[in-house]
Amino acid sequence: MKLFSRRFIRVWQRNLDVFSTIWHTEAPGFAAEPVIILLAMGLGLGAYVGMVDGQKYIAYIAPGIIASYAMFSATFECTYGTFVRMEYQKTFDAIIATPLSVGDVVAGEIFWGATRAFMTGTTILIIAAAFQLVHSPWALLIPPLSFLEGVMFSSIAVFFTARAPTIYIYNYYYTLFITPMFFFSGVFFPLTSFPEMVQRLSWVAPLTPVTTLTRALFNGEVQPSLLWALGLIVGITALFFPLALRTMRRRLTV
């Protein structure tokens, strides 16, 4: 059975329309905050840290900031955003009474979340370039990677949202899943600085392959051995995308 149809684009368009009227209230989250973190940590902490893996600290964390804020964008959109549309505004109930199916709604939400990740990743990349941190043409592949990363994190988020009994449950999602990844997926420090036990946990976090891959593209150090990271991202997405769809169908079509 087909998971979704081309009509998913209607849901994506709807979300884009809404975003285009409120983007300025979202900008602090996807542009200002990452820049603040980049400068505060990169310059402030960087003054003490010196060089990491042979490069300036700010250049080391820049790709990690891209990867993690792309994750945040997709995750916010498909946790709080999706939950409000689903539960408080009943938007999905209205949509599935038209020729669109639950599959179309879910795909629209996930690809919209991915679009937000793409926008965030691209914005930070441009800012990093303005700070003359970007030197390799491989960096042009970072925006599509952010999109793929967005599909993955949106799928996981929609899967969780489909089972969320209340909006408060996201406290767990952020505290136990998202925030630890921000610190333990190689954004700020190389994984090798952690004890082996923590390292092992880091390797199962979905943000780790994204950070690794984004950093490789950022630095132009691309090698075939990175394919495992890409494979991991694709694999997690292939698992959670249909799961998100199935759980959401169960929730919406009772």
Partner 1 sequence: MVIIKTQNLSKKFKDLLAVDSVNLEIGEGECFGLLGPNGAGKTSLIRMITAVSPPTQGDICVMGKDLKTHARQVKAVIGVVPQIDNLDSDLKVLQNLLTFSRYFDIPKDEARRRAMEVLRLFELESKLNSKIGELSGGMKRRLLLARGLINMPKILVLDEPTIGLDPQAKYLVWHKLGELKSEGVTQLLCTQNMEEAAVLCDRVAIMHLGKVLNIETPQNLISKYIGKEVWEIGVNSDEREKTVKELEKRGLDFENVMGGIHIFHVETEEQVSGLSLPIGKLRRRPATLEDVFFRLTGRSLIE
The residue ranges that bind partner 1 (CB under 8 A) are: 7, 10, 13-14, 17-18, 85, 89-91, 93-101, 252-254
Q: Residue 14 to residues 105, 132, 209, 215: CA-CA distances in angstroms?
A: 11, 36, 31, 33
Alpha-helix residue ranges (DSSP H) falling in 77-178? 82-83, 91-95, 102-130, 142-162, 170-172
> Whole-number minimum distance, CB 23 to partner 1, in Å?
13
How much is the CA Rg of the chain, to the nearest whole Å? 18
As given in the structure block, the two tokens for residue 169 are: 């449950």
Query: Please, what is the minimum distance in Å from the beta carbon of residue 90 to partner 1?
Result: 4
Task: Identify the CA nearest to 206 among candidates 176, 237, 173, 238.
Answer: 237
Q: How far is the CB of 91 from partner 1 (least distance, A)?
A: 6
- Dist. CA 67–CA 229, nearest whole Å: 13
Nearer to partner 1, 85 or 215 (CB): 85
3-state helix, strand, coil in the chain (%, to 5): 80, 0, 15
User: Which C-beta is closer to partner 1: that of 96 or that of 191?
Assistant: 96
CB of 20 to partner 1, least distance (A): 11
Least distance from partner 1 to the Cβ atom of residue 67, Å: 29
**How far does Cα 254 stand from its chain's mean position?**
30
Q: Which is nearer to partner 1, 7 or 56 (CB)?
A: 7
Task: Please give the Cα distance from 123 to 97 (Å, whole number).
Answer: 37
Residue 28 vs 99, nearer CB to partner 1: 99
**Closest distance between partner 1 and the C-beta of residue 95, in Å?**
6
Which two three-digit tokens encode residue 91? 């938007």
Residue 90 or residue 200: which is nearer to partner 1 going by CB?
90
Which residue lies nearer to partner 1 by CB, 91 or 161?
91
